[in-house]
Structure 1
């Protein structure tokens, strides 16, 4: 199908970068003399752009219909914002909606485009060349057609789009707007299907930085539920939700590079997993150096990955040396309890609990 082979411009929009992350590219980003004030400025600029984008969506869709991409939600608008795709990677549901006066045409086009969406690294690598439609789409095996078959090629995607529009087209009212939509359930084990794609990359990085691969996988699950397109309002990107201006800048400095990684670099799963693993190693070997018990270290690393090493140490003492000493005199169970009850950030407390629950399953 010619329309599928000519989707390059749409996919470049996705990688520029993916839903609301298209807004990230418009944020000012200096690669020299990057410091906290600049980071705050960049974040504020991002929030302004997101709010402007949300206002545009609200004007078109109505006040209760604003959907923005997030760490576990892929959202992509097309057709001058009249059509959108929303994949919830927690519930495992794909919704494609339109306000178009020709809903059948727009829904079919959006369904096919979504089902054949490439992996993020393929979008990035081929941004200056035609898309390679010989590779498996990102959602391959995560969605099955009406006959229970995975969708690999143009013709099957088009056939399934026809089936959905003919048999499962619904409408709903939102204010004075009529929204036409179809919903598609991802397969029950969609999380494992996505995770399977990244296990080789995780193993490689785990070996390189001597990090437990189970820890990397648990962090990915909590951060993004294996959504490689993940973005957040805090400008965190990709599977392990890395920020250019914090973890990215720290690692570049350690690696003898200037500036910070680009957004497209961090959205490539291979780079994202490697940098996330390297950041865990940096936390362990530098920021939390001196913690002796490996289990206590793991608890501290998990909290530090979410809220910073400084907040972990101040949970035990305002003095770094004393904090390390206090941790070393406590059992791992005591360290865990202290962090989930006394850490200054409720988010970091919950984060440790979630990651640890996955690790102990």
Structure 2
């Protein structure tokens, strides 16, 4: 979710107090009837304090720099780190790592350990298969060992050579050995300390319709939150696919976290205050929890529908605006029509859904958002 990365982008098209009116019937929605729209006053969906954005970004960059510095002797100066679509976890003092590409469903486990590479590889494969969904046990910015308590993160996404899901240590170890025996590969990579030999295996997550198998992992949560907030489950699934491709530990430099890429200080703050009726914002680990993340992301979509874009009358038009706003903020969406909010809404209300879609694809200020609306609307069709 890319919501006003720079402070200049944080100056919204229309501002509002923290008591923004909501037209829905949810008992937790503010009931203030006043509407305050002042050009260039920040919305509450953006950073109220610009320096907080900088601190969050600086902290993220420090973590990335730390990982790359530690990994450089084994993987090169620009060692891969976790992002939106790739789960990257280092292990064994950075001499081994797992990379899970959620876009193509491919898992790669590799090591440059020279002492006992095959043993290291087997241990890291087994550990990867048993890593849990609990964010408190997973640190993507260190090589700390992951504690295996609870259902594995990849349970039902990966099956062993007997076609069985992997939950227990013995099965994980057996499949790890099978992967080494049947698929071990070797090559050489250039690192900051010279050329090193790399040992690796690759294997796939379940491919009998990968998106559907990933969808099933979160179906009950999505349906619960969709019903709670009056949303289509297909829309939530489409946002998750576009934002993270079902990577529970997705992270980005904004920074945004989790399945729906919630930015703590912006959408996260809006959703937190809406749900709890008190000031605050979610933490990274809170957002790495799938249930929390889908609740926060769905609440924010609800806010977009029923607060910031509630004056858009046609339901199809409002959904198109909400999709774009989830990426860039409602202010940027409205400003693509006119600098005056009321005039912008009036123009939207005169358009057909097809004409509005064409406008958003051509006139939104950022290419990322212009592409985003196409991705989400296309993805939604797969979940209907």
In the superposition, the TM-score normalised over structure 2's length comes to 0.79
Q: Does 1:228 align with 2:259?
A: no
- Per-residue CA distance 1:185-240 (angstroms, 9 max, x = gap): 22213332221021111111111111111100100011111111111111111110
Post-superposition offset of 1:108: 0.8
Quick check: which one's helix share is greater? 1
Question: After TM superposition, which residue ranges in structure 1, 4 or more long, deviate above 6 angstroms?
Answer: none
User: Which residue among 346, 369, 374 is the counterpart of 1:353?
Assistant: 374
Map 1:307-322 → 2, pairs under 5 A: 307-322=328-343
Structure-1 residue corresponding to 2:85: 72
Structure-2 residue corresponding to 1:83: 96
Q: Does 1:107 align with 2:128?
A: no
Q: Which stretch shifts more, 272-281 or 154-163?
A: 154-163
Map 1:38-53 → 2, pairs under 5 A: 38-53=52-67
Structure-2 residue corresponding to 1:341: 362
Whole-Å Cα distance in 1 between the matches of residues 247 and 257 of structure 2?
10
Post-superposition offset of 1:165: 2.0
Structure-2 residue corresponding to 1:291: 312
Structure-1 residue corresponding to 2:166: 151
Structure-1 residue corresponding to 2:42: none
Alpha-carbon contact 1:121-1:269 (below 8 Å) kept: no
User: Which residue among 238, 249, 263 is the counterpart of 1:218?
Assistant: 238
Helix, strand or coil for the counterpart of 1:45?
helix
Whole-Å Cα distance in 1 between the matches of residues 165 and 217 of structure 2?
16
Q: Which stretch shifts more, 54-63 or 236-245?
A: 54-63
Structure-2 residue corresponding to 1:330: 351
- Per-residue CA distance 1:288-311 (angstroms, 9 max, x = gap): 120000000000000000011000
Whole-Å Cα distance in 1 between the matches of residues 125 and 73 of structure 2?
24
Whole-Å Cα distance in 2 between the matches of residues 285 and 149 of structure 1?
45
Alpha-carbon contact 1:143-1:150 (below 8 Å) kept: yes
The gaps in structure 1 that reach 5 residues or longer are 1-32, 125-129
Alpha-carbon contact 1:300-1:312 (below 8 Å) kept: yes
Aligned residues: 322
Whole-Å Cα distance in 1 between the matches of residues 204 and 53 of structure 2?
39
Map 1:271-282 → 2, pairs under 5 A: 271-282=292-303
Higher relative contact order, structure no. (Cα contacts within 8 Å, ≥ 6 residues apart): 2
Alpha-carbon contact 2:130-2:148 (below 8 Å) kept: no
Structure-1 residue corresponding to 2:223: 203
Q: Which stretch shifts more, 250-259 or 154-163?
A: 250-259
Structure-2 residue corresponding to 1:62: 76
Alpha-carbon contact 2:109-2:200 (below 8 Å) kept: yes
The gaps in structure 2 that reach 5 residues or longer are 1-46, 139-145
Whole-Å Cα distance in 1 between the matches of residues 212 and 137 of structure 2?
22
User: Which residue among 157, 160, 177 is the counterpart of 2:196?
Assistant: 177
- Structure 1 residues 339 and 45: CA distance shift in structure 2, 3 A: same
- Per-residue CA distance 1:94-149 (angstroms, 9 max, x = gap): 1111011111111111011111111236848xxxxx9675x542212222222333
Post-superposition offset of 1:34: 5.9
RMSD: 2.0
Helix, strand or coil for the counterpart of 1:183?
strand
Whole-Å Cα distance in 2 between the matches of residues 199 and 360 of structure 1?
16
Post-superposition offset of 1:150: 2.2
Whole-Å Cα distance in 2 between the matches of residues 118 and 52 of structure 1?
24
